[in-house]
Amino acid sequence: MSLWIWAIGALAAIAALAWIGLCVARRLSGNAPRYRDMSYGVAFGYALALAAIAGGVWLWMKPGAVYFRWAVMGFFLCAAAAFVFRLAGRHLGPERLRRQFRKMPLTAAFGILVILIYAIVAIFAAWIAPYGQEAVLGAANVVPGGDPAMGGDPAFPLGTDRIGRDILSRLIYGAQNTVGLAFATTLLAFLLGGSLGLLAAVVGGWLDQVLSRGVDVLMAIPSLIFALLLLTIASVWADGARGLMTLYMVLIIAVIDSTRVFRLSRSVGIGIVVMDYVEAAKLRGEGMGHLVFREILPNAMAPLLAEFGLRFCFVFLTIASLSFLGVGIQPPLADWGTMVRDLAQFINFAAFAPMVALAPLLPALAIAILTVGVNFVVDWMLHRASGLKS
Amino acid sequence: MTPLLEIRDLRIEGRSDEAWHPIINGIDLTLGRGEVLGLIGESGAGKSTLGLAAMGYVRDGVRISGGAVVFDGIDLMTASTEEKRSLLGRRIAYVAQSAAASFNPAHKLIDQHVEAPVRHGVSGRGESVEVAIELYRKLRLPNPEEIGFRYPHQVSGGQLQRAMTAMAMSCRPDLIIFDEPTTALDVTTQIEVLAAIRDIVDQFGTSAIYITHDLAVVAQMADRIKVLLRGDEVETAPTRQMLEHPREDYTKSLWAVRGYHRPEKPAPGPDSVPILSVEGVTAAYGEQVVLEKVSFDIHPGRTVAVVGESGSGKSTTARVITGLLPPKGGAVRFEGEALPPGYRQRSKDQLRQVQMIYQMADTALNPRQTVAQIIGRPVRFYSGLRGRRLRVRVDELLDQIEMDPAIFRDRLPGELSGGQKQRIGIARALAAEPRLIICDEVTSALDQLVAEGILKLLARLQDELGLSYMFITHDLATVKAIADEVVVMKEGQVIEQGPKTAMFTPPHHPYTDLLLSSVPEMDPDWLDKLLAERGVEALGEAATGKM
């Protein structure tokens, strides 16, 4: 009850602050157009932002708010890294690249930086990781941080898991497994869904009906449940062969996700098919290949690329959740979803030992940062694509 | 008496490529009470920007960098949002070019109409509805009692444009800005809208700024005309004086455009085989019959113009000829041989012989292909040229359409102007080395000066290459300029056809007569004379309810 009173009181205070602030600003500035034409709603927004900043500062001062302080520091660190990266891009490299960097927002620079780092880590995992992903190293449950007084060990900077595998190494190999598989799956989904969708748009008629209704049927089943069901069946066929199981998983997720790609590419394609230049190409007597890949695909590229970025995130999360549920990437292969599940109990210690609770948060953070980074880049590409049109 | 609107040294800039570029460079404008000022100029002259600035408004990415706009003693540059809000819609109203795009399709006309008077507190809803019906009647809309209770898509284009004018009138504003209100309409519909607008402006003594690129239209509407060119004023003068004695060269060139005229070629001999004959073609979209027994011939080296209002079946005829819409009956013959009905069954050579040029060059050129790719593809496809020889051929084609290959070869369509894009469309058709080119409204999206250039180019190419044209258009001035033969279509049927000179000399078929007499002329008294001749009843279904 008292929480409600607090919340209403705070809102009323912010509202009053906004009103007083607006009056004062108008008086002080001699009724300048900027303040004169500012609506109360905008002023309230400013007041709310001010209150949020004040709240943030207060939280920062509070002794117990370790995670909040880490989050704020991490935010500024990421922003600084992105800024430096963009600055480097603007002054190094060929002229064409520099021009791209000059128009780039900070968010996109951050996204590209993240994707680059992940790609490098994934490709060179075997050289970067201090230990093998399957190596059991004896010392179990070492706390992250490398401080012996807190139960850490300098040999394992991010600690070890319950059976003594190095978390840092597994995180690095996880990039290879999870990101690599997600990339392959998304690519497959796009080849399948994209080409069928454009084909349906160009040919139309019964082919379009058959493909679209088939996709509708697949989409009618909740995707995660459907994937679980199919994977259970597939696990019988695979008969314990780990590589085969992973292949089935890639195929199943690719097919399920290709339905979304099909929908998008078909609707984008239908918008392009009615253009006069496609009609001109048809009347010229061009074949289906030329129509789809020369006339339509280049114009559908911007939305499809954007969808690729988003779809990649979804596939990636699906693989992580399937692994979390135990049917995805099979142990002992390192995978971020499985790691979150394995280390999940440590979160209970968050109140007493922030460092211990960090263990399950690290793979989760790895997933989150990549998702955010990819989305930033996608946003930027969409923005550029729409800007090109006008 | 002080003028109603005064614009002094107005400067407007637009942002592109991260820099501000001038759109309007210091224009002065005064508008007296009850006066109608015509603003004319090509696209990009800044007409619409100036019209909007008269309301104290600029589009996104555009800013006013200097000058003043004073409306009835109120400086709109410094007025607060509240003050402007109380003026816009109430005392200053705006009629946009496309009423179809400006009405909200989800609300009935009347609801959108009464919004302004109710919100501005001019009158209550009931009273506003009555006033609206009165206005609909004054604008000669059919069924004035009921038309307001329809949705925008249930009303025709011309009626919608009149409903929009009525909406602008709803608060009895002092100033209305008309931004090309009849550009998207057929000539016959245009007359009704023009007459309605003029009547209502006269009756209420409203001042108006009338923006258009059509000189003949502005001659009917305006008391004074201001000519703009790339953001600068060329000259301003009362309408009659401007029409009779234009001072500046630019104005004279605008006036002269309509003078382009190509003599009719001699009639083909009796044994000439038509390059294309359409024989009793009947076509339908599903059950809806859109073409009924259409027949005409196109002889080699001649231009046949197909004219008619929108919905008369002109473009459908083109679709039947190209094979996009297989006909239900009749046949299309090319040099005496029947063409297969669908384009898929036609041979590569049959497809090559008939090429099309489209109305909207924006959608006719693939935005992701360079000029060289767009033109090169048909060359490669039909003649198999590759590498250096392909390049030489593309350059040759660009030379033919009077564009410098070195500059334009690698450009994308987005980097070309409207007229240049249309030229590329022509080059693409030429690349196939066809015998017949179907031109579908190729000049109607272009400014008059640019359109004239395109027409001259087409005429020159015809002489050089012996091409035949089927020229689809609703603009009779274009027909007069280049046609040898004319086919008049209405509701899917051919009403009349024959050589141009015969068609333009009376007696005409009544429908041809209606079309011909509806083309605005430069004479400022033309509309009055026409209306007097036709009588008010002749304004179509409009008056039936009332008279």
pLDDT digits (tens, 9 = 90+) for B182-227: 777 777 778 877 888 888 788 888 888 888 887 888 888 888 888 8
What's the pLDDT at B234? 83
The H-assigned helical ranges of A124-241 are 125-128, 167-174, 180-203, 205-220, 223-238
Instruction: Measure A117 CA to nearest chain B CA, in Å.
Output: 32
Give me the residue from B351, B366, B367 closest to A283, CB to CB. B351
Output the six-digit token pair for B410. Answer: 């690698």
List of chain A residues whose C-beta atoms are within 8 Å of the C-beta of residue B360: 276
List of chain B residues whose C-beta atoms are within 8 Å of the C-beta of residue A279: 324
Q: Going residue by residue through chain A, which has 390 residues, state the pLDDT in tens, using 9 for 90 and above.
A: 688 999 999 999 999 999 999 889 888 888 777 788 788 889 999 999 999 999 999 988 888 778 888 889 999 999 999 999 988 888 887 888 888 788 888 899 999 999 999 999 988 888 888 887 777 777 777 777 777 777 777 778 787 877 878 888 888 988 888 888 888 999 999 999 999 999 999 888 899 999 999 999 999 999 888 999 998 888 888 777 777 888 888 999 999 999 999 999 999 999 888 888 998 998 888 888 888 888 898 888 888 888 888 888 888 888 888 887 878 777 778 888 888 878 888 888 777 777 778 888 888 888 889 888 988 988 888 777 665 443
pLDDT tens-digit series, residues B218-260: 888 888 888 888 888 888 888 888 877 777 777 777 776 666 7
Instruction: Measure A389 CA to nearest chain B CA, in Å.
Output: 8
Q: Tell me if B399 is assigned to some domain.
A: yes
B366 touches chain A (CB under 8 A): yes
| pLDDT value at B545 more than 60 | no
The H-assigned helical ranges of B294-386 are 314-322, 348-353, 361-364, 371-383
Residue B28 backbone phi and psi in degrees, to 5 = -105, 145
Q: B369 with B434, same domain?
A: yes
Mutate to test the interface with A, among B366, B370, B375 (most CBs of A within 10 A): B366
Residue B127 is classified by DSSP as H
Q: Tell me if B528 is assigned to some domain.
A: no
Output the six-digit token pair for B132. Answer: 């609206």
List of chain B residues whose C-beta atoms are within 8 Å of the C-beta of residue A275: 363-364, 366
Q: Tell me if B515 is assigned to some domain.
A: no
What's the pLDDT at B502? 80
Instruction: Measure B339 CA to nearest chain A CA, in Å.
Output: 14
A280 touches chain B (CB under 8 A): yes
Q: B251 with B292, same domain?
A: no
Burial class (CB in 10 A: 0-12, 13-18, 19+), A295: buried
What's the pLDDT at A205? 87
Give me the residue from A37, A282, A295 closest to B366, CB to CB. A295
CATH of the domain at B158: 3.40.50.300
Nearest CA in chain B to A302: B368
What is the distance between the alpha carbons of residues A39 and B116, in angstroms, rounded to a whole number? 21
**B368/A299 touch (CB, cutoff 8 Å), yes or no:** yes
Enumerate the β-bridge partners of residue B21.
B14
Instruction: Measure B200 CA to nearest chain A CA, in Å.
Output: 35
How many other CB atoms sit within 10 Å of the CB of residue B493?
Answer: 14
Total domains in the fold of chain B: 2
Q: B102 with B128, same domain?
A: yes
Per the document, the length of chain A is: 390
Instruction: Measure B98 CA to nearest chain A CA, in Å.
Output: 19
What's the pLDDT at B65? 82
Q: What is the mean pLDDT of residues B33-50?
A: 82
What's the pLDDT at B213? 80
Is the alpha carbon torsion for A257, A258, A259, A264 positive or negative? positive
Instruction: Measure A46 CA to nearest chain B CA, in Å.
Output: 20
B428 CB contacts (<8 Å, ≥6 apart)? Answer: A280, B355, B365, B374, B375, B378
Q: Average model confidence (pLDDT) for chain B? A: 82
A282 touches chain B (CB under 8 A): yes
A 6-35 residues inside an 8 A Cβ radius of B = 33
Q: B68 with B205, same domain?
A: yes
Q: Tell me if B500 is assigned to some domain.
A: yes
- Are the C-beta atoms of B274 and B475 separated by less than 8 Å? no
What's the pLDDT at B515? 81
**A280/B428 touch (CB, cutoff 8 Å), yes or no:** yes
- CA torsion angle for B129, B130, B131, B133 (degrees, to 10)? 90
**Domain covering A167-389 in this structure, CATH number:** 1.10.3720.10
Radius of gyration of chain B (CA): 25
> Distances from the Cα of B78 to the Cαs of A25, B20, B83, B158, B174, in angstroms?
18, 22, 10, 38, 20
Q: What percent of chain B has pLDDT over 90?
A: 4
Answer with the residue of higher pLDDT: B525 or A26: A26
Q: What is the largest CA-CA distance in chain B?
A: 77
How many other CB atoms sit within 10 Å of the CB of residue B111?
Answer: 16
Q: B233 with B299, same domain?
A: no
What's the pLDDT at B1? 62
Three-state DSSP class for residue B377: helix
Q: B148 with B94, same domain?
A: yes
| pLDDT value at B538 more than 60 | no
List of chain B residues whose C-beta atoms are within 8 Å of the C-beta of residue A276: 358, 360, 363-364
Distance, first Cα to last Cα, chain A: 53
Output the six-digit token pair for B124. Answer: 């209550």
Q: B244 with B286, same domain?
A: no
Q: Give the DSSP H/E element, type plus range, for residue B63.
A: strand B62-71
Band of the pLDDT at B542, cuts 50, 70, 90? very low
**A37/B81 touch (CB, cutoff 8 Å), yes or no:** yes
Q: B225 with B296, same domain?
A: no
How many other CB atoms sit within 10 Å of the CB of residue B3?
Answer: 16
Q: B251 with B349, same domain?
A: no
| pLDDT value at B520 more than 80 | no
**B78/A33 touch (CB, cutoff 8 Å), yes or no:** yes
Query: What are the residue ranges spanned by the domains of chain A?
Result: 167-389
By C-alpha distance, which of B204, B165, B160, B201 is closest to B184? B160
What's the pLDDT at A386? 63
| pLDDT value at B121 more than 90 | no
What is the distance between the alpha carbons of residues B55 and A84, in angstroms, rounded to a whole number? 46
What's the pLDDT at B150? 84
Distance, first Cα to last Cα, chain B: 40
Q: Tell me if B446 is assigned to some domain.
A: yes
Q: Tell me if B513 is assigned to some domain.
A: no
pLDDT tens-digit series, residues B427-461: 999 898 898 999 988 887 777 778 888 888 888 88
**B451: domain range?**
276-506
Burial class (CB in 10 A: 0-12, 13-18, 19+), B237: middle
**Residue written as tokens 């599940």?**
A341
What is the distance between the alpha carbons of residues A6 and B432, in angstroms, rounded to a whole number? 77
B381 touches chain A (CB under 8 A): yes
Radius of gyration of chain A (CA): 26
pTM of the model: 0.76
What's the pLDDT at A390? 34
Q: What is the mean pLDDT of residues B300-325?
A: 86
- Are the C-beta atoms of B328 and B316 separated by less than 8 Å? no
Burial class (CB in 10 A: 0-12, 13-18, 19+), B383: middle
- Residue by residue, DSSP assigns A94-114 as -HHHHHHHHT--HHHHHHHHH
Q: B166 with B299, same domain?
A: no
Q: B303 with B194, same domain?
A: no
A388 touches chain B (CB under 8 A): yes
Chains A–B, number of C-beta pairs less than 8 Å apart? 54
What's the pLDDT at B546? 35
Q: Tell me if B190 is assigned to some domain.
A: yes
Q: Tell me if B531 is assigned to some domain.
A: no
> Distances from the Cα of A344 to the Cαs of A337, A360, B259, in angstroms?
11, 6, 85
Q: B470 with B343, same domain?
A: yes
**A286/B381 touch (CB, cutoff 8 Å), yes or no:** yes
Single out the residue in B198, B228, B258 at which a domain terminates: B258
